[in-house]
Amino acid sequence: MSVPVLIAAGDAAWEAALVSAAVETRGITVVRRCVDVADAVATAVSGAVALALVSVELPGLDPDAVSRITRRGVVVVAVAPDDAAREAEEAATALGIGAVVPLGQLARVATYVRRDDAISDHPVRVTRGGAGAGAPVVADAPPRAGRVTAVWGPAGAPGRSTLARGVAAELAARGRRTVLVDADVDGGTQAPALALLDEVSGLLAAARDANGGSLTTDALAGHLRWIGPELGVLTGLPRAERWPGLRATAYESVLATARDLADEVVVDLGFCLDDTGDGGGDGSAPRRTAVARHTLETADVVLVVGLPDPVGLSRLARAVLDLRTRCDVDPVVVLNQVRTTLGWTTREIAEAVERFTGAVPAAFLPYDRAALDHCLVHGLTPAEGAGGSPFQRAVAGLASDLDARASELA
């Protein structure tokens, strides 16, 4: 089994070499490349890793930070360039770190974590090597019949992926096992946004299992990248040209299995619903839009996100009409990047949306660039890196509204 690892080397000149070596080292899987001490501690506390590779020169690293990491059952190992390993030993001892490994001998680090002692006390378990680090135990668990929330919107970067990430993290923070599926066939962005170093697309790997008839909830959990005890990410296509490898029937199986695995399934979708030029059916010539259409047609909730400026509102109106016409779906409308500089109040925006689409917006997400930039730079979800921010409060309100709607329909 592979050991899930975080790396925290700050701005060390050899950090890139450490990451490359760690990715290539058998027996370990890099789950998170942390930018600072706070990120490393948060990752350790989340239960996503069993081993932390750190630089003794990481700014802010002190005995208290090391203790907070080790209290979660995470083994801390200092790594240093080969010619500086001896000098690092004294600093590591002062920090309470019991092991120093030269960069050239990184293969040794997996031996510091034993499955039967260190990992058994860890709040999560390790499944498959490449993905699945930190996956919760799901073997023999009864199906959960999870709710599927599709996040869609028109062209023009209205914030589909940001909203999907925010909603998924908020639901997970409420104690529900949540799977975030990056199903944008134009190329996934969730992995880089969350600082996940992923060699293989989780979505394509799960689809291959589905094609072979071997996709189970346990297998799907193994393809997820878990960034906390309740939030797993099924990473998307690395490049847009890989979309023909995602057959509609296989994807349908992946989505159905995700329902069985999780309480909540949030799907990040690309904008296109037009099959023009794709060549027809889903057999030898698959439709590029089959993934989005199936998700939209079978989801319990469809969130359509748009921008509140004149161009964004025009695109939103056409998108809602397109969605109703093609998929027979009545969506929940969300306005993103709402700001006072437009000169419009939320009431005026809501009136315009209702006039053009017949739908009353369910949420107005503020233009909170500073908070969201912080999350992107540090690879954090809004719940992790922007708690209490205007954006996160609005997302929390939206999640509560979705719960209330579900209760009314129950």
Q: Does residue 142 belong to any structural domain of this protein?
A: no
Does residue 105 share a domain with residue 168?
no
| pLDDT confidence of residue 390 | 96
Q: Does residue 159 belong to any structural domain of this protein?
A: yes
* H-type alpha helices, 71-130: 85-95
Does residue 186 share a domain with residue 92?
no
pLDDT more than 70, % of the chain: 88
pLDDT band at 117 (very low <50, low <70, confident <90, very high): very low
CATH of the domain at 352: 3.40.50.300
Does residue 166 share a domain with residue 111?
no
Q: Does residue 130 belong to any structural domain of this protein?
A: no
pLDDT band at 278 (very low <50, low <70, confident <90, very high): low
CA dist 176 and 72 (Å) reads 21
| pLDDT confidence of residue 119 | 32
Does residue 93 share a domain with residue 224?
no
CA dist 372 and 350 (Å) reads 24
| pLDDT confidence of residue 47 | 77
Each residue of 214-245: pLDDT tens digit? 999 999 998 998 887 799 999 999 888 888 88
Q: What is the DSSP track for 244-274?
A: GGS-HHHHHHHHHHHHHH-SEEEEEE-S---
Short-list 172, 237, 231, 226, CA closest to 202: 237
Strands 332-338 and 363-366 turn out to be parallel
Inter-CA distances, 260 with 127, 139, 153, 257, 393, Å: 18, 12, 26, 5, 29
Does residue 265 share a domain with residue 217?
yes
Q: Does residue 140 belong to any structural domain of this protein?
A: no
Q: How many CA atoms lie within 13 A of 147 on its CB side?
A: 19
pTM, two decimal places: 0.71
* Contact yes or no for 372/386 (Cβ under 8 A): yes
- Residue 4 DSSP label: E
Give, to the nearest 10 degrees, the angle between helix 63-70 and helix 37-45.
20
Max alpha carbon distance in the chain (Å)? 71
| Residue 280 pLDDT greater than 90, yes or no | no
| Residue 122 pLDDT greater than 80, yes or no | no
| Residue 197 pLDDT greater than 80, yes or no | no
The pLDDT mean for the chain works out to 86
- Describe the strand order of the beta sheet including 363-366 as a list of residue ranges: 225-226, 231-234, 178-183, 264-269, 147-152, 301-306, 332-338, 363-366
CATH of the domain at 40: 3.40.50.2300
| Residue 321 pLDDT greater than 80, yes or no | yes
Does residue 166 share a domain with residue 54?
no
Q: For residue 301, give its domain range.
A: 147-409
Averaged pLDDT for residues 20-25 = 86
Does residue 167 share a domain with residue 99?
no
Does residue 302 share a domain with residue 163?
yes
Total number of domains constituting the chain: 2
pLDDT band at 16 (very low <50, low <70, confident <90, very high): confident
User: For tokens 């010539």, what's the residue?
Assistant: 285
Burial letters 74-109, b for 16+ CB under 10 A, else e: bbbbbbbbeeebeebbebbeebebeebbbbeebeeb
Strands 147-152 and 231-234 turn out to be unpaired
Each residue of 368-403: pLDDT tens digit? 999 999 999 888 899 988 989 999 999 999 999 999
